[in-house]
């Protein structure tokens, strides 16, 4: 099996490379926008902002599986750059799907809780009505639609509140700002499931293993849209508090700042965020036999990794 991993320098792409699971399952080709990987390894150059360039790359590499971790993720900036966001998150995904359909390849693509409006009070099912609130959510929904319409074999894996020991994310921001300030104001009325890239990598590999072992009929039943998020839920305020508690315990911070709970209205942003971002992930565990851990478990794991590096 030859796998092409797009977005090698992103949070999730880097986690796939460091995990080693994709490489263990066959030949792995990695690609990023500038052709230089985070670890200094030279890789393929690909820019999803230029969808017309993708077909030549795919023709040359001839992957059996395309794992697309590349995305436009600047949620607020997308309000001014919706055309660019839609090229990367929508049109380019359609190109991947068209090539995969013509060549019998599988596309693994990641989507987001932002395709929903956040007005629910129970976890969103995979087939719940979509109604994105902003440009980023619309661009990600465009990618889902394009991939489904392509007719390619695919996994659309929706996730949310993603973080890792590396890259730009809420956890890293909290640790940096928490070391500088005595008090922080954090939104307490947006609810979701903080999800580590380690959980997403493990879940993806479980889905791929099921796909590899399945016959044609079983593959048809396996493919489609799945929710790959941690179990449980909290607010951004709750997540921040847990980060600081764990960081102090491990010596990553000398003391925890006071975390004041505020409303979304007190922290206005260009893009409106969903109030409720909890996704129903029960089907994923049943279908792929992969236990989706509580969000606190993986937070401990990430803080442990940072502690080892810090030491």
pLDDT tens by residue, the chain, 311 residues? 999 999 999 999 999 999 999 999 999 999 999 888 999 888 999 999 999 999 999 999 999 999 999 999 999 999 999 999 999 999 999 999 999 999 999 999 999 999 999 999 999 999 999 999 999 999 999 999 999 999 999 999 999 999 999 999 999 999 999 999 999 999 999 999 999 999 999 999 999 999 999 999 999 999 999 999 999 999 999 999 999 999 999 999 999 999 999 999 999 999 999 999 999 999 999 999 999 999 999 999 999 999 887 65
Domain assignment present for residue 62? The answer is: yes
Domain assignment present for residue 166? The answer is: no
Q: Which residue has the tokens 């442990």?
A: 304
Domain assignment present for residue 186? The answer is: no
The CATH number for 109's domain is 3.40.50.720
Phi/psi-derived region of residue 23, left when phi > 0, alpha when psi is between -120 and 50, beta in every other case: alpha
At residue 6, the 3 state secondary structure works out as: strand
CB 200 within 8 A of CB 16: no
At residue 221, the 3 state secondary structure works out as: helix
Just list the catalytic residues: 136
How many domains does the chain fold into? 1
Give the pairing type, strands 106-112 and 191-192: unpaired
Domain assignment present for residue 18? The answer is: yes
Element (H, E) at 131: none
Q: What is the largest CA-CA distance in the chain?
A: 58
At residue 51, the 3 state secondary structure works out as: helix
Domain assignment present for residue 242? The answer is: no
Which pLDDT score, from 0 to 100, does residue 311 have?
59
Domain assignment present for residue 66? The answer is: yes
Calpha distance 13→4 (Å, rounded): 11
Calpha distance 67→109 (Å, rounded): 6
Give the pairing type, strands 162-163 and 106-112: unpaired
Which pLDDT score, from 0 to 100, does residue 310 have?
66
pTM of the model: 0.96
Domain assignment present for residue 240? The answer is: no
Domain assignment present for residue 268? The answer is: no
Calpha distance 204→288 (Å, rounded): 9
Of 141, 31, 143, the C-alpha closest to 96 is 143
Of 65, 83, 75, 71, the C-alpha closest to 21 is 65
Which pLDDT score, from 0 to 100, does residue 83 have?
97
Domain region containing 89? 2-161+194-231+278-293
At residue 134, the 3 state secondary structure works out as: coil
CB within 8 A of 212, min separation 6: which ones? 1, 25
CB within 8 A of 297, min separation 6: which ones? 230
């Amino acid at each position: 099996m030859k796998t092409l991993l797009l977005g090698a320098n992103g949070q999730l792409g880097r986690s796939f490379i460091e995990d080693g699971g994709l490489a263990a399952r066959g030949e792995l080709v990695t690609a990023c926008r500038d052709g230089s990987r985070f670890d200094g390894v030279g890789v393929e150059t690909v820019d999803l902002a230029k969808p017309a360039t993708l077909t030549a790359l795919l023709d040359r590499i001839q992957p059996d599986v395309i794992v697309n971790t590349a995305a436009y993720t600047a949620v607020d900036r997308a309000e001014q750059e919706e055309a660019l966001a839609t090229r990367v998150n929508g049109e380019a995904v359609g190109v991947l799907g068209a090539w995969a359909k013509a060549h019998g390849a599988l596309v693994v693509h990641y989507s987001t809780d932002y395709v929903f409006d956040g007005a629910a009070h129970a976890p969103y099912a995979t087939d719940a009505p979509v109604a994105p609130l902003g440009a980023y959510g619309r661009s990600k929904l465009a990618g889902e639609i394009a991939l489904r319409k392509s007719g390619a074999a695919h996994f659309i894996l929706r996730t949310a509140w993603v973080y890792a020991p590396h890259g730009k994310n809420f956890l890293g921001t909290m640790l940096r700002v928490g070391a500088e300030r005595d008090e922080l104001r954090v939104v307490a009325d947006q609810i979701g499931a903080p999800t580590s890239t380690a959980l997403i990598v493990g879940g993806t590999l479980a889905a791929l293993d099921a796909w590899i072992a399945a016959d044609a009929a079983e593959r048809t039943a396996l493919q489609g849209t799945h929710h790959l998020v941690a179990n449980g839920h909290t607010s951004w305020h709750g997540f921040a508090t847990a980060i600081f508690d764990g960081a102090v315990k491990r010596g990553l911070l000398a003391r925890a700042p006071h975390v004041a709970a505020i409303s979304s209205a007190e922290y206005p942003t260009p893009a409106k965020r969903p109030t409720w971002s909890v996704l129903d992930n029960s089907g994923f565990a049943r279908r792929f036999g992969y236990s989706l851990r509580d969000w606190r478990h993986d937070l401990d794991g990430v803080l442990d990794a940072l502690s080892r590096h810090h030491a």
